[in-house]
């Protein structure tokens, strides 16, 4: 007997119309992919039933890279080609990496490029490319499990990730062929997973301690609106650092000369430190065994008291960040409803103990701390892709670090303060200082300090095409805009003439558009299958998405356009439909651009109309 | 290039009458309502044009909320709408207020050396908050009129609020220092 398919109320009526969307937690130690199926957000396992994908990539000569558990096994025996915790390198320059003492773990190539590359048996690879391999693996897993092409993904990032780190994540997704619906902050994702479970209104704290990063976010939940009040953290503090501290102590105990430790031996010792740490959550003392250079091993003991001594200084640093976030949010521990634990490192008993003491409450960990972020991301992905048109959930996040501009004397002028709700746009007026000057450079940095050198350089924006005038006559309005992904874009306009400047972005720690295009070409050249077919399919999918979206919009609000405007828009739509049915990818791309331009007016007016409609209702109330 | 209409002012945008007193609950509710309409999350699958409009509009609504929520920013905004630009160079500062400023600065200077700095800082903070309230409680009466005299007084009172804000920022920095950040 055939089973009737009854869809849940509030979902798209016909199941086959549901789009496939996933949430991806691209973690330092482990990555996961999750999706909403039959109304439930669940992580997706691989063929062996494993949900966690170790964020480890092993490169080989003349063979495709290996991702996951298999790669991790090789870490001790093939350390130079097996990259772990690549997240620590995203959006970072070589100088930063060396400061953190990670540059000896791998063979970093000397290069002028701002993007560090690691020499492996499979070639020189950048952190973005390495992360792309992990994402590709998750994408394959999802498409195989869900039985179709992904329409998009929400990818999570630490809340404290700066612009360069976020852009690197987006670049990795692009290389992996994933359409990013949103970059979502990990604590916010966790809040979504918990919030919908319990729905308790008020102020919540999310304490997220992963393998390599720490975030604390303070959120207010009010009728389905998650409002981030403040966030703080450290993108170079996590479980890995506990492991390092433990490893250091063990090496001392064993009398091993730290300078004499080989790469393979070093990785093996770290693994052992990690194992011991995890086991001490279950037992009081563990036996530890370290491999020695000449062969054989040293054995010793590690107990809870010693572990706590090693972990406490690091945990205290996280509590310092908690204090700062609470100040910024203007709250006290008494105002907090609950504290949610996220990230594998929060399984540690000592972490739970000290956090509980600090907030005077028992931290919550009912949802698996490894999975909660991916689950929250999947919930949002389901909504963003359009599967739940009536959903009222709204996520209002913030920028974690102040954005500023370099001014005279190496000082920073803050443009957008930290914890400002995004999207946000602020404008600054500039003028020229030479007659006929047609270009202007703006150096943007991120951070809280007063000197440019103490902040993170994001990029240099070159504004070109300023109409030549007498020095000081031009009034150039530069607008700094941070979007919902937390990414900065800069635009500029000369006010008197109305001329928009062309903006060229030179990221300080990132890939230029050309470099990405180059990587995409390379990856496609090496991939199996027909490159041309893949590019055509990508354009077709994009075209379908836009056409569907516009169709729906016109059905609802087509009447706000005049006959003439409607005619022009319809022509652009017809053009794209025709291009899409063909097999010329470039023609489709051009038609998409033309349609975007043609629909700009409609989009703007439509939004105005919605707003005025909603507010008009209130005005009538007031006067009646 | 045509963009979303940014020429209307924030009171219009939030469907509120152009007056100084704003009910914070109503403002917050309108804010949520507006973001539910324009937020980029509603246009993740939309056209480039929709996404651009959405980011611009959401940013404008966030800014409007920020301005209308804060008593000082709201006062400055209303003065601007009424064609009165507030400059920081206060030409005629009334002597009574000068006294107030000196007293508060003295109190702040004594915080570090006091027996209980945290408590002393709290007292100065509460003092400033009380003085601000006195001004904001009276502001509507001045700002909602359109005559010269009232607007002039509104300007003076707003300048006082600006001074209090600067003091609060210094107090904040002092608090951070005492807390060891």
Nearest residue of chain B to residue A612 (CA atoms): B13
Residue B128 to chain A, least CA–CA distance (Å): 17
For residue A207, the tally of other CB atoms under 10 A from its CB is 29
Note the Cα A451 to chain centre separation in Å. Answer: 27
Nearest residue of chain B to residue A180 (CA atoms): B44
> Which pLDDT belongs to residue A97?
84
Residues A25, A272, A397, A406: which is the catalytic one? A25
Around A157, how many Cα atoms within 13 Å sit in the side-chain half-sphere?
30
B44 close contact with A: CB closer than 8 A:
yes
> Which pLDDT belongs to residue A7?
43
Encode pLDDT of A286-319 as tens digits: 999 999 888 889 999 999 999 999 999 999 999 9
ipTM of the complex: 0.90
Contact criterion met (CB < 8 Å) for A483 and B40: yes
From the list A151, A595, A607, which residue is nearest B4 (CB)? A607
> Which pLDDT belongs to residue A404?
93
Cβ contacts of B45 on chain A, cutoff 8 Å: 151-152, 181, 384-386, 545, 549
> Which pLDDT belongs to residue A535?
83
Could you give the angle at which helices A372-384 and A186-198 cross, rounded to 10 degrees?
80
Note the Cα B8 to chain centre separation in Å. Answer: 20
Output DSSP code: residue A357.
Answer: H
Active site residue A382: no
> Which pLDDT belongs to residue B181?
61
The answer to whether A107 and A80 have CB atoms below 8 angstroms apart is: yes
From the list A483, A601, A617, which residue is nearest B55 (CB)? A483
Encode pLDDT of B49-92 as tens digits: 999 999 999 999 999 999 999 999 999 999 999 888 777 555 56
Percent of chain B with pLDDT over 70: 91
B23 close contact with A: CB closer than 8 A:
no
Nearest residue of chain B to residue A549 (CA atoms): B46
The answer to whether A483 and A166 have CB atoms below 8 angstroms apart is: no
**Residue ranges in chain A whose pLDDT is less than 50:** 1-5, 7-8, 11-15
Could you give the angle at which helices B71-81 and B117-143 cross, rounded to 10 degrees?
30
B22 close contact with A: CB closer than 8 A:
no
Nearest residue of chain A to residue B49 (CA atoms): A600
Output DSSP code: residue A347.
Answer: G
Write down the H helix ranges in B71-147.
71-81, 95-111, 117-143
Around A313, how many Cα atoms within 13 Å sit in the side-chain half-sphere?
7
Q: What's phi and psi for A505, nearest 5 deg? A: -100, 125
Given pLDDT bands bounded at 50, 70 and 90, which one contains residue B164? Answer: very high
Active site residue A25: yes
For the range B108-116, what are the long-range contacts, defined as Cβ-Cβ under 8 Å and sequence gap of 24 or more?
A: B108/B167, B108/B170, B108/B171, B108/B174, B111/B174, B112/B174, B112/B178
From the list A423, A553, A602, which residue is nearest B40 (CB)? A423
Encode pLDDT of A415-434 as tens digits: 999 999 999 999 998 888 88
Nearest residue of chain A to residue B33 (CA atoms): A614
B69 close contact with A: CB closer than 8 A:
no
> Which pLDDT belongs to residue A531?
73
CA distance A284 to A289: 17
Percent of chain B with pLDDT over 90: 66
Contact criterion met (CB < 8 Å) for A604 and B53: yes
Active site residue A338: no
Contact criterion met (CB < 8 Å) for A182 and B37: no
Active site residue A143: no
Residue with tokens 């480039």: B48
pLDDT higher than threshold 90 for residue B26: yes
The answer to whether A431 and A476 have CB atoms below 8 angstroms apart is: yes
> Which pLDDT belongs to residue A224?
86
B122 close contact with A: CB closer than 8 A:
no
Instruction: Write the DSSP assignment of B21-57 as a string of letters.
Output: ---HHHHHHHHHHHHHHH-GGGGTTS-HHHHHHHHHH
Cβ contacts of A385 on chain B, cutoff 8 Å: 44-45
Given pLDDT bands bounded at 50, 70 and 90, which one contains residue B4? Answer: very low
Cβ contacts of B125 on chain A, cutoff 8 Å: none
């Amino acid at each position: 007997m055939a089973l009737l398919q009854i869809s849940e109320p509030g979902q798209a009526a016909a199941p086959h119309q549901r789009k496939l969307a996933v949430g991806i937690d691209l973690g330092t130690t482990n990555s996961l992919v999750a999706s909403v199926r039959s109304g439930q957000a669940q992580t997706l396992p691989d063929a062996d039933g494993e949900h966690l994908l170790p964020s480890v990539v092993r490169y080989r000569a003349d063979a495709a890279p290996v991702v996951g558990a298999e790669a991790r096994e090789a870490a001790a025996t093939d350390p130079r080609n097996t990259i772990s915790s690549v997240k620590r390198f995203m959006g970072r320059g070589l100088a930063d990496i060396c400061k953190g003492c990670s540059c000896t773990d791998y063979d970093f190539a000397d290069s002028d490029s701002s993007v560090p590359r690691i020499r492996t048996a499979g070639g020189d690879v950048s952190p973005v490319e390495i992360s792309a391999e992990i994402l590709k693996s998750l994408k394959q897993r999802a498409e195989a499990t869900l039985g179709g092409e992904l329409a998009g993904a929400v990818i999570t990032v630490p809340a404290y990730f700066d612009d360069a780190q976020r852009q690197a994540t987006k670049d990795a997704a692009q290389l992996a062929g994933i359409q990013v619906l949103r970059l979502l902050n990990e604590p916010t994702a966790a809040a979504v997973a918990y919030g919908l479970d319990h729905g308790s209104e008020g102020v919540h704290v999310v304490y997220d301690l992963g393998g390599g990063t720490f975030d604390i976010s303070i959120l207010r939940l009010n009728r389905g609106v998650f409002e981030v009040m403040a966030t703080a953290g450290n993108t170079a503090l996590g479980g890995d650092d506990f492991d390092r501290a433990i490893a250091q102590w063990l090496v001392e105990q064993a009398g091993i000369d730290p300078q004499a430790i080989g790469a393979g031996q070093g990785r093996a010792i770290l693994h052992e430190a990690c194992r011991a740490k995890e086991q001490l959550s279950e037992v009081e003392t563990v036996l530890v065994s370290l491999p020695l250079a000449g062969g054989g091993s040293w054995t010793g003991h590690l107990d809870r008291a010693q572990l706590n001594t090693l972990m406490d200084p690091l945990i205290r640093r996280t509590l310092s960040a908690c204090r700062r976030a609470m100040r910024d949010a203007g709250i006290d521990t008494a105002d907090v409803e609950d504290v949610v634990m996220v990230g594998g490192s929060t399984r540690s008993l000592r972490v739970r103990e000290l956090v509980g003491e600090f907030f005077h409450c028992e931290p919550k960990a009912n949802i698996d701390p490894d999975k909660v972020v991916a689950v929250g991301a999947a919930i949002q992905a389901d909504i963003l892709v359009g599967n739940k048109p009536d959903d009222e959930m709204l996520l209002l996040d913030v920028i974690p670090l102040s954005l500023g501009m370099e001014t005279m004397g190496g000082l920073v002028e803050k443009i957008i303060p930290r914890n400002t709700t995004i999207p946000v746009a602020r404008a600054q007026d500039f003028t020229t200082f030479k007659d006929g000057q047609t270009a202007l450079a703006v150096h943007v940095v991120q951070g809280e300090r007063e000197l440019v050198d103490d902040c993170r350089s994001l990029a240099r924006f070159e504004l070109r095409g300023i109409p030549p005038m007498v020095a000081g006559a031009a009034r150039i309005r530069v607008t700094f805009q941070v979007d919902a992904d937390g990414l900065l874009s800069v635009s500029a306009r000369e006010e008197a003439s109305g001329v928009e400047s062309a903006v060229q972005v030179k990221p300080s720690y990132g890939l230029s558009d050309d470099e990405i295009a180059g990587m995409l070409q390379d990856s496609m050249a090496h991939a199996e299958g027909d490159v041309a077919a893949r590019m055509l399919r990508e354009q077709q999918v994009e075209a379908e998405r836009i056409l569907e979206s516009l169709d729906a919009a016109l059905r609802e609000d087509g009447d706000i356009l005049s006959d003439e405007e409607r005619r022009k828009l319809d022509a652009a739509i017809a053009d794209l439909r025709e291009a899409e049915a063909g097999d010329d990818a470039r023609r489709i791309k051009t038609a998409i651009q033309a349609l975007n331009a043609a629909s700009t007016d409609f989009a703007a007016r439509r939004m105005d109309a919605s707003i005025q409609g909603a507010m008009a209702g209130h005005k009538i109330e007031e006067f009646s | 290039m045509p963009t979303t209409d940014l020429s209307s002012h924030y009171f219009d945008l939030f469907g509120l009458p152009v007056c100084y007193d704003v009910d914070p609950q109503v403002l917050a509710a309108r804010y949520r309502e507006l973001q539910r309409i324009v937020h980029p999350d509603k246009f993740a699958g939309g056209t480039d044009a929709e996404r651009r409009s959405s980011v611009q509009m959401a940013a404008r609504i966030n800014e409007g909320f920020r301005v209308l929520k804060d008593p000082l920013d709201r006062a400055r905004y209303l003065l601007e709408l009424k064609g009165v630009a507030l400059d920081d160079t206060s030409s005629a500062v009334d002597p009574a207020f000068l006294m107030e400023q000196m007293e508060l600065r003295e109190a702040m200077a004594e915080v570090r050396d006091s027996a209980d700095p945290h408590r002393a800082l709290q007292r100065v903070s509460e003092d400033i908050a009380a003085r601000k309230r006195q001004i904001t409680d009276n502001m509507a009466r001045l700002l909602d009129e359109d005559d010269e005299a009232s607007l002039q007084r509104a300007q003076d009172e707003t300048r006082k609020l600006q001074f209090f804000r600067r003091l609060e920022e210094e107090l904040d920095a002092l608090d951070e220092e005492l807390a060891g950040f």
